[in-house]
Chains A and B, each alone.
Chain A
Amino acid sequence: MTLLIALIAIGLVAVSAWWLAIGRARDLRGKGRLNSLPAYHGVHTLLWALLPALLMLAVWAPIQTTLVNQAVLASAEGKALPAFDMQRDAILDEARQIAAGNIDHGYNPQSEQLAPRFSEAESRYGAIGGGIALLLTFAGAALALRRVVPEFRARAGVERWIQALLVAASLIAILTTLGIVLSLLFESLRFFKLVSPVEFLFGTSWSPQTALRADQAGSSGAFGSVPLFWGTAFIGAIIAMIVAIPLGLMSAIFLTQYSPPRLRAWLKPILEILAGVPTVVYGYFAALTVAPMVRDFGLAIGITSASSESALAAGLVMGIMIIPFVSSMADDSIAAVPQAMRDGSLALGATKAETIKKVLLPAALPGVVGGVLLAVSRAIGETMIVVMAAGLSANLTANPFASVTTVTTQIVQLLTGDQEFDSAKTLAAFALGLALFVITLILNLIGLRVVRKYREAYE
Chain B
Amino acid sequence: MTLMNEIHAPVPADIDEPPADANRAPKMSARDVSVFYGDKQALNGVSIDIRDDRVTAFIGPSGCGKSTFLRCLNRMNDTIPSARVTGKISLDGQDIYHSNMDVVQLRARVGMVFQKPNPFPKSIYDNVAYGPKIHGLASSKGEMDGIVEKSLKRAGLWDEVKDRLSESGTALSGGQQQRLCIARAIAVDPEVILMDEPCSALDPIATAKIEELIHELRGRYAIAIVTHNMQQAARVSQRTAFFHLGEMVEYGKTSEIFTNPRERRTQDYITGRYG
B131 touches A344 (CB 8 A): no
Q: How far is the CA of A79 from the CA of B106 in the complex (A)?
A: 98
Q: How far is the CA of A457 from the CA of B121 in the complex (A)?
A: 10
A358 on interface, CB distance cutoff 8 Å: yes
Interface 9-residue window, one of B13-21, B31-39, B111-119, B159-167: B111-119
B158 on interface, CB distance cutoff 8 Å: no
Q: Collect the chain B residues with CB atoms within 8 Å of residue A344's CB.
A: 114, 118-120, 181, 184
A343 touches B114 (CB 8 A): yes
A151 on interface, CB distance cutoff 8 Å: no
Given contacts A340-B118, A344-B120, contact A349 B81 (CB under 8 A): no
Q: From residue 73 to 119 of chain B, which have CB atoms closer than 8 A to chain A?
A: 74, 76, 79, 81, 104-109, 111-112, 114, 116, 118-119
Q: Which residue of A lies closest to B81 (CB)?
A: A261
Given contacts A261-B81, A344-B181, A358-B130, contact A349 B118 (CB under 8 A): no
Given contacts A343-B76, A343-B114, contact A349 B105 (CB under 8 A): yes
B153 on interface, CB distance cutoff 8 Å: no
A90 on interface, CB distance cutoff 8 Å: no
Q: Number of A residues contacting the other chain (C-beta, 8 Å)? A: 21
Q: Collect the chain A residues with CB atoms within 8 Å of residue B122's CB.
A: 362
- Interface of chain A: mostly helix, strand, loop or mixed: helix
Q: Collect the chain B residues with CB atoms within 8 Å of residue A358's CB.
A: 130, 134
A348 touches B108 (CB 8 A): yes
Q: Which residue of B lies closest to A355 (CB)?
A: B134
CB distance from A401 to the nearest CB of B (A): 43
Partner of B79, one of A260, A343, A359, A457: A343
Q: How far is the CA of A346 from the CA of B119 in the complex (A)?
A: 13
A363 on interface, CB distance cutoff 8 Å: yes
A348 touches B184 (CB 8 A): yes
Binary CB contact string for chain B from 107 to 149 against chain A (1 if under 8 A, 0 otherwise)? 1110110101011111000000011001100000000000000
Given contacts A260-B81, A261-B81, A358-B130, contact A347 B112 (CB under 8 A): yes
B interface bracket (residues with beta carbon within 8 Å of A): 20 to 34
B185 on interface, CB distance cutoff 8 Å: yes
CB distance from A367 to the nearest CB of B (A): 13
Q: How far is the CA of A437 from the CA of B188 in the complex (A)?
A: 53
Q: From residue 198 to 251 of chain B, which have CB atoms closer than 8 A to chain A?
A: none
CB distance from B37 to the nearest CB of A (A): 14
B111 touches A347 (CB 8 A): yes
Partner of A341, one of B106, B108, B118: B118
Best-surrounded residue of A260, A346, A349 (most CB of chain B within 10 A): A349
B130 touches A363 (CB 8 A): no
Binary CB contact string for chain A from 236 to 265 against chain B (1 if under 8 A, 0 otherwise)? 000000000000000000000000110000
Q: How far is the CA of A347 from the CA of B131 in the complex (A)?
A: 10
A103 on interface, CB distance cutoff 8 Å: no
A345 on interface, CB distance cutoff 8 Å: yes
Partner of A346, one of B107, B135, B181, B185: B107
CB distance from A253 to the nearest CB of B (A): 16
Partner of A349, one of B107, B116, B121: B107
A345 touches B76 (CB 8 A): no
Interface residues of B, Cβ cutoff 8 Å to A = 74, 76, 79, 81, 104-109, 111-112, 114, 116, 118-122, 130-131, 134-135, 181, 184-185, 188
Told that A344-B119, A347-B112, A348-B111 touch, could you supply 10 new A-B pairs with CB distance under 8 A?
Answer: A261-B81, A340-B118, A347-B107, A347-B114, A347-B185, A348-B134, A348-B184, A348-B185, A348-B188, A349-B188
Q: List 11 A-B contacts (CB under 8 A).
A: A338-B118, A340-B116, A347-B74, A347-B76, A347-B107, A348-B130, A349-B104, A349-B106, A349-B131, A349-B134, A349-B135
> Which 7 A-B pairs rank lowest in CB-CB distance, beginning with the nearest?
A349-B108, A340-B118, A347-B112, A349-B107, A348-B131, A344-B118, A349-B104
